[in-house]
C-alpha cells in the first residue's frame, strides 16, 4: 500500500483529514449566489476545477468538460482521461510543485460553500447483497429456517429505483405516505409511514455509456466504475411489508435516496482492494473474481433524535462483508444486455455484520421494533421519528492516511397532508 502523498496544502497532510492528496474526490459546490461548479476536495479546501479549466490550467482547449455543474461530461471521457486528469491534479497539488502561486486563487474553504449532487443521476439500482442483512431480515419476517432464499447465493438480487429522487447529503427527507396493513387488520389504510428506516450502503457511479444487447465481463464492468459514494436508501418498512409480494419494493423505496457529496475515485480506493468473503458454493464463471473487487472500507451510522443534540453511533461495520461486490452487481446487471449510461448509480444494499452493533438499519438493530435503542438522555427509538437525523460516514484506512467520502446526512420531516376530495 502506498503511503501519504504530501501536498503543499497543509490541511491535506493531516492525520485526521478524509481528503489527502491520495483521495481527490469529485463534487459540485457553490458559494453564496454563485452558479454551482465542479470541484475537488483537498484537505479542508475545494479546488475550483471549473475555474482551472477556464484559466487553461487543465483540460484540452476547445473541449470543455467542467462548464456544467455535473461530472457526467468528463466521466464519458473514459478511464484513460480519468488517469490523465488525476495525474495532472497530483502534479498541481503535490509538495514542491512550482504551480502553487497560480493554483492558490482557485482554492475555496470547504466550510464556506453549499454542496450539490456531484453528477446527474441517470438511473438507480439498489441491491440486497449482504448475508448478515439477508439472514437477519429473513429471520424477522419468515423465521430462521426460511431466512435466505436458495438463489440468493448465486444472484446479486436487485431492483430498479427512481433516479429523480436521489438527493445530496443535507437534503431534508419527508416521511412518505402509503398503504400500511396495521396489526389485527385485514385491509390496508393510507397513512404516514410508521416504521421509517435508513440503510447504510456504498454506491458505485457508472462512468461510461454502454450500448445495450451486449454483456461485458467482470473486469470490464469494474473498469466502468468512475467512483464511489455513500448511500442511504431510506426505507418505509410498514409500506414495504404490505406491498413487497409479489413484485418487491415500490413506494417503500422510491421516495428518497441520499448520497454523500463527494465521488471517491476508483483509483483512490485501489490500494484497499481485498478478498471476498467465503462462498457457500462457487459462483458462475461470469461472476468469479480473478482479482479482488471488494474493498476494505469501514462504515458507520450515527443517529440524533429531535430531543437531543448528541449523536449516538448505532452501527459500525465494513464493506468487505458484502457477499457480492458492486463490480459483480454491475456485471450481473448487464449480463442480459441492458444498456448503461454515465451517471447510473448502483447501491450495494445494506452493509451489516454479525453483531447487533454491526447491523446497518433499524429493522435489524431494533429487531423490527422489539428492542429499542436508548440514547444517553434516556430517549428511546425503534424507528425514525420526525426531526430525527441519520449521518453516514465511511473511511478506508491506510498506514498514515485515510480515504473518506464526506458525510451523508438527512433529517426527517413530517409527512405531507393528503389532499383528499
Active site residues: 133
**370 SS3 class:** coil
Cell numbers placing 105? 486563487
What does the angle CA 280 – CA 206 – CA 223 come to, to the nearest 5 degrees? 70
Spatial CB neighbours of 186, under 8 Å, sequence gap ≥ 6: none
Residue 373 has φ and ψ, to the nearest 5°, of: -80, 140
Upstream peptide bond of 417 is cis (omega within 30 degrees of 0): no
Question: Per-residue DSSP letters for 379-411?
Answer: -EESSB-TT-EEEEEEEEE-SS-EEE---EEEE
User: Dihedrals φ, ψ of 369, to 5°?
Assistant: 90, 5
Helices (H), 150-226: 218-223
Alpha carbon distance 397, 203 (integer Å): 18
Q: Are 208 and 342 in contact (CB under 8 A)?
A: yes
Q: Is residue 62 helix, strand or coil?
A: coil
Residue 227 host element (H or E): strand 225-232
Question: CA–CA separation, 23 vs 19, rounded Å?
Answer: 6
Residues 6+ apart with CB under 8 A from 322: 129, 130, 202, 277, 294, 348, 349, 351
Amino acid at each position: 500500500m502506498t503511503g501519504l502523498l504530501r501536498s503543499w496544502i497543509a490541511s491535506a497532510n493531516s492525520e485526521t483529514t478524509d481528503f489527502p492528496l491520495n483521495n481527490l474526490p469529485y463534487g459540485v459546490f457553490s458559494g453564496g449566489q454563485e452558479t454551482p461548479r465542479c470541484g475537488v476536495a483537498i484537505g479542508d479546501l475545494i479546488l475550483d476545477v471549473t475555474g482551472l479549466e477556464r484559466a487553461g490550467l487543465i483540460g484540452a482547449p476547445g473541449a470543455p468538460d467542467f462548464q456544467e455543474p455535473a461530472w457526467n461530461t468528463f466521466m464519458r471521457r473514459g478511464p484513460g482521461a480519468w488517469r490523465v486528469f488525476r495525474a495532472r491534479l497530483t502534479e498541481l497539488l503535490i509538495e514542491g510543485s512550482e504551480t502553487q502561486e497560480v493554483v492558490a486563487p482557485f482554492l475555496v474553504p470547504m466550510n464556506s460553500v453549499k454542496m450539490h449532487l456531484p453528477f446527474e443521476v441517470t438511473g438507480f439500482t439498489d441491491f440486497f447483497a449482504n448475508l448478515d442483512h439477508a439472514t437477519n431480515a429473513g429471520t424477522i419476517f419468515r423465521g430462521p429456517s426460511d431466512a435466505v432464499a436458495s438463489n440468493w447465493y448465486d444472484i446479486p438480487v436487485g431492483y430498479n429505483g427512481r433516479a429523480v429522487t436521489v438527493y445530496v447529503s443535507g437534503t431534508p427527507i419527508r416521511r412518505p405516505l402509503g398503504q400500511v396493513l396495521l396489526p389485527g387488520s385485514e385491509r390496508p389504510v393510507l397513512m404516514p409511514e410508521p416504521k421509517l428506516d435508513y440503510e447504510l450502503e456504498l454506491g458505485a457511479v457508472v462512468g461510461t455509456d454502454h450500448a445495450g444487447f451486449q454483456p461485458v465481463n467482470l473486469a470490464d464492468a469494474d473498469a466502468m466504475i468512475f467512483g464511489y459514494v455513500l448511500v442511504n436508501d431510506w426505507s418505509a418498512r410498514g409500506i414495504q411489508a404490505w406491498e413487497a409480494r409479489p413484485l418487491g419494493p415500490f413506494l417503500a423505496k422510491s421516495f428518497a435516496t441520499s448520497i454523500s457529496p463527494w465521488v471517491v475515485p476508483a483509483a483512490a480506493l485501489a490500494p484497499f482492494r481485498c478478498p471476498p468473503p467465503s462462498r457457500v458454493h462457487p459462483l458462475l464463471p461470469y461472476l468469479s473474481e480473478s482479482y479482488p473487487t471488494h474493498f476494505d472500507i469501514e462504515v458507520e451510522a450515527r443517529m440524533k433524535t429531535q430531543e437531543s443534540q448528541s449523536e449516538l453511533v448505532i452501527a459500525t461495520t465494513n464493506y468487505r462483508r458484502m457477499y457480492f461486490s458492486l463490480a459483480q452487481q454491475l456485471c450481473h446487471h448487464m449480463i442480459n444486455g441492458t444498456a448503461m449510461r454515465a451517471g447510473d448509480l448502483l447501491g450495494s444494499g445494506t452493509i451489516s455484520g454479525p453483531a447487533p452493533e454491526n447491523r446497518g438499519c433499524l429493522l435489524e438493530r431494533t429487531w423490527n421494533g422489539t428492542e429499542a435503542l436508548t440514547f444517553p438522555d434516556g430517549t428511546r427509538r425503534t424507528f425514525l421519528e420526525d426531526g430525527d437525523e441519520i449521518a453516514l460516514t465511511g473511511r478506508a484506512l491506510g498506514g498514515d492516511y485515510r480515504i473518506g467520502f464526506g458525510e451523508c446526512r438527512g433529517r426527517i420531516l413530517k409527512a405531507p397532508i393528503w389532499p383528499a376530495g
